[in-house]
Structure 1
Amino acid sequence: MDIGEYLEHDATALAGLVRSGEVTAAELLEVARERATAVNPTLNAIVISMDGEADRRVAGELRGPLAGVPFLIKDLAQDFRGYPTTRGSRSYRRLIAPSHAAVVERFLDAGLVVFGKTATPEFGAKAITESELWGPTRNPWNTDVTPGGSSGGSAAAVAAGIVPAAGANDGGGSIRIPAACTGLVGLKASRGLMPFGPHVGEPLFGMGVEGVVTRTVRDAAALYDAIIGPTPAATYPTPPHTETFTARIATPPQRLRIGFTTRSAINPAPHPEAVAAVQRAANVLTELGHHVEEVDPPHDDAELARDFLEIWFAKAAAQVDEARRRTGASDADFEADTLAVAEIGRASGVIPLFRALDDVNDHVLALERFHRTYDLLMTPTLATPPPRIGAMTTPPLLQHAARLAAKARIGSVMSRLGLVEQLIAENLGWVPYTQLANLTGRPAVSVPLHWTADGLPLGVQFVGRLGADGELLALAASLEQAAPWFHRYSDIAL
């Protein structure tokens, strides 16, 4: 198989070729590696090679619904025994994982051939993928701009045709944002569906979920079918999965009531291309027979952003403390932004954290009221096209000041100086729509229905009721059929 043939097949189709004997897993792995050799030096998507593991897998017997398909996992929360999970941080670069993460076990049980780990920002804490440890990851559609984050390495690898799908996770948009930046499908599943462990529990108080980025909806359905379900160490039972997602997407959804909005208090002037993306989606949905109308935002997104960051600040403080304890890391092993945010979280104490956690119920109720009338909420996934590489880098002088402030333990002073508001504007201003699904535990999917005049993808997001993952995938499948995107590759992929 050559690269042209490889790019014509998604993961489901490649697995079918392996089952029929038309191609071997070793042959697919070789094509994927050749592709990586050609484009990864430019993109910096794969940061850890796992060739030995992959060679051993293809030399043996592979079983599972996706047996033989080349695959990459994210270098965050997706531990692979015998390799570091750096989390994009110098502090973890030498700590070796003693066992596979539960989600990685399920990737392997599905027959996938993992041959590398993909880039992420430090601790997955940004919507861009530009860590000091690994350097910036670039977007295949335009290498001057970001592929998003924090699953930017996985998204860049899939969009460039290295693999048809890759591991990802989402604590504030980290599956959907990269999918939107690179022309992929990205589902953030309902809380409780995805496995965690064995050494960590549900992350970010339920805000974080495991998952994948894919080029096709049927690949997303097949991969989620393979990885969802309970684990023995789960805190609570997983909802029963009575119908596979693969079966669910075979039937288009009945007529849906869809409310859409592009408005945001965080970004009161979203880019015209973001507005155009939603309008195009509304037109396609109307042609498919759905009821679509503009609505007011169902929630206070400025308050939600503050609650989200209060939780994130506390988590940052805990992550830095954990890294110090586990690895003996010093301040020099962390990025300045990480130290500053962690210091704000430490200085804030527990009251803002618990107040934010209590506020989650208000955001859940706001969505519940919305869903009494509408089946789905539609928004842009991004408020602007993907930013240029380096555009969100803190200037060196401010980085130095941040390190001094963190060392001096003056997080309360930083908060009073308005740093929280600045962080909301700078870090969430271009992605104000994605955190809602994380705080409320609701499922949300980004689909690539729009390309800008400059040729950049710009996804559209749908948020559903708790447990409506199958409905979201079925809608995405019908949109994929109405406005196909699979054969749309960037120049670097051709």
Structure 2
Amino acid sequence: MTIEKRTTVHAFRDDSLGEHDAVGLAEAVRRGEVSPAEVARDAAARLGAVAELHAVQVPLDPPALGGGAGGAFAGVPTLVKDNTDYAGLPTGHGSAAFTPRTARRHAPFVRQLLSTGVTVLGKTRLPEFGFSPTTEYESADPARNPWHTGHSAGGSSGGAAALVAAGAVPLAHANDGGGSIRIPAACCGLVGLKPTRGRMVPNDQSRHLPVDLVVDGVVTRTVRDSAAFLAAAERHHRNPKLPPVGLVEGPSDRRLRIGYLLDSPNGVRCDDDTRAAVTDTVATLRGLGHTVEPVTMDIDPRFTEDFLTYWGMLSFLLGATGRTFGADFDRHRMDGLSRGLREEYVKRWRGTPGVVRRLRRTKLAYAAALRGLDLVLTPVLARTTPPLGHLAPDVPYPVLVERILEYVAYTPVDNVVGTPSLSLPSSRTTADGLPVGVLLSGRPGSERTLLETAFALEAERPFRRIQDV
């Protein structure tokens, strides 16, 4: 595997989007400084300017927009991840195993997204069925990291993260079943909030499964965009079983008790750059007046194997029911990671009831770890962003799965438990200039506390901007 020379790519320029985040751009639209149609045209031009990132799956021509559209993000351009139906566009799920059909109606989350006023300009790429933590393929160009185009943009929302980091759009749809919002956010220097299970409208793909892992959201460049999106989405759908979040606009005066964990609950030791990012954040939080102390999380030692088996069950079910995606679906054309997951599951399917039972019990260990604490700080990933090819689906499955487990060692716990979790850029970068993320997680319904803490960290150490590199 050859590591490419560093190339940084971005689309920031002197146009109607400027250097605005989504909140700033929406304010400019409301003040009449720019029009929604002008913004859509300029965003489409930006998408074209970063075509080498290979992050767009299906482009849409910029619509002819008039004034008067409502919503907190009226006139703000975005894209939908290509595992979610947008009426009139095909949904391909990142797979070469079938020919995508055109969706006849919007998925429930797309309706929630559109309620915020955004303008959709197309769909973003993801790895096959969202299984991989990198957006790479066996026979197509990978999505590239705009900070260093020879490296992964993360996955599974890698296309979304690449475009937001590169400045093509201020925010983009993402979803997360094992880290797929937070991983690409960490790789691309973004804010990635995985909300509490049930905070957003239920995800069509996972709501009927024995453990509902997937939740939708967005990736953004600023904490205020993530906070404003959550507040706007809540106006469309609010789960009465969860405390309302409302609009979070800055840090709180409340001083928190925060636990931190360096090595993962399943024993994976993080690398030196990642370790330094967490310890730097610990120091920053202490400087802000919070009490920060080490914590342990005694989850079942079988958790990693159980999660992998459950992931394999999902691949098996997709292979068995694939004709619902397209009449020509052929499970033999699924990529090496999907095939390997399915084949391993076939060997151990009889253990599925025990796997589900143990995964559901993870919430007890998680609750015990957070007893007396408000939040937990960990790495997002155990390793910094790898070069393209390291996690590609054509790597032999036994090697690939070992690499994935050494990389994705923290994020799945929050998917299993259903707790909210927020990836933030740290003050650290790798020797290649790549961002390193840190992860804040909390109890169910604690998004307000997460966002308030993120606001404080962003103010204390502003996030690096790709246009300044």
Q: TM-score, normalised by structure 2?
A: 0.91
Distance 1:318 1:230, change over 3 A: farther
Q: CA deviation at 1:440?
A: 0.7
For 2:35, which of 12, 21, 24 is the aligned residue? 24
* Structure with the higher helix share, 1 or 2: 1
Q: CA deviation at 1:106?
A: 1.6
1-structure distance, mates of 2:448, 2:98: 37
CA shift digits 1:228-270 (9 cap, x unpaired): 4786xx9xx54355340x2x34342511111111113656432
2-structure distance, mates of 1:17, 1:460: 32
2-structure distance, mates of 1:253, 1:353: 46
CA shift digits 1:320-366 (9 cap, x unpaired): 222135423124532132122123224432x4222122112432111
Residue segments in structure 1 that go unaligned for 5+ positions in a row: 400-418
* 1:242 corresponds to: 244
SS at match of 1:250: coil
1-structure distance, mates of 2:210, 2:182: 17
2-structure distance, mates of 1:203, 1:14: 39
Q: CA deviation at 1:199?
A: 8.2
Distance 1:238 1:353, change over 3 A: farther
Q: CA deviation at 1:204?
A: 6.9
Distance 1:98 1:221, change over 3 A: same
CA RMSD of aligned residues (A): 2.4
Asked if 2 retains the 8 angstrom alpha-carbon contact of 1:193 and 1:238, the reply is no
Asked if 2 retains the 8 angstrom alpha-carbon contact of 1:315 and 1:345, the reply is no
- Equivalent residue letter for 2:22: A
CA shift digits 1:7-64 (9 cap, x unpaired): 4210011001111111001111122112111112x1111111111xx414x2474221
1-structure distance, mates of 2:308, 2:235: 29
- Superposed counterparts of 1:304-315, under 5 Å: 304-315=303-314
State yes or no: 1:43 paired with 2:53. yes
Distance 1:230 1:302, change over 3 A: farther
* 2:284 corresponds to: 284
State yes or no: 1:461 paired with 2:439. yes
SS at match of 2:466: coil
2-structure distance, mates of 1:110, 1:286: 36
* 1:215 corresponds to: 221
- Superposed counterparts of 1:137-176, under 5 Å: 137-176=143-182
CA shift digits 1:72-118 (9 cap, x unpaired): 11111x21011111000123432121210111112212110000111
For 2:72, which of 58, 61, 65 is the aligned residue? 65
Asked if 1 retains the 8 angstrom alpha-carbon contact of 2:252 and 2:453, the reply is yes
CA shift digits 1:393-430 (9 cap, x unpaired): 3557x47xxxxxxxxxxxxxxxxxxx5xx665321211
- Superposed counterparts of 1:335-354, under 5 Å: 335-349=335-349, 351-354=350-353
* 1:272 corresponds to: 272
- Superposed counterparts of 1:111-122, under 5 Å: 111-122=117-128
Asked if 1 retains the 8 angstrom alpha-carbon contact of 2:245 and 2:447, the reply is no
2-structure distance, mates of 1:301, 1:424: 20
CA shift digits 1:132-154 (9 cap, x unpaired): 46530000110110011000000
* 1:448 corresponds to: 425
- Superposed counterparts of 1:41-440, under 5 Å: 42-51=52-61, 54-56=62-64, 58-59=65-66, 61-76=68-83, 78-132=84-138, 134-196=140-202, 201=207, 205-228=211-234, 238-244=240-246, 246=247, 248-252=248-252, 254-264=254-264, 268-296=268-296, 298-300=297-299, 302-328=301-327, 329-349=329-349, 351-395=350-394, 398=396, 424-440=401-417
Asked if 2 retains the 8 angstrom alpha-carbon contact of 1:193 and 1:229, the reply is no
2-structure distance, mates of 1:66, 1:469: 20
* 2:5 corresponds to: none
- Equivalent residue letter for 1:462: L
Aligned residues: 455
Distance 1:158 1:81, change over 3 A: same
2-structure distance, mates of 1:257, 1:200: 33
1-structure distance, mates of 2:139, 2:103: 18
2-structure distance, mates of 1:157, 1:193: 25
CA shift digits 1:194-244 (9 cap, x unpaired): 11366873567221100100001111011122224786xx9xx54355340
SS at match of 1:66: coil
1-structure distance, mates of 2:187, 2:346: 33
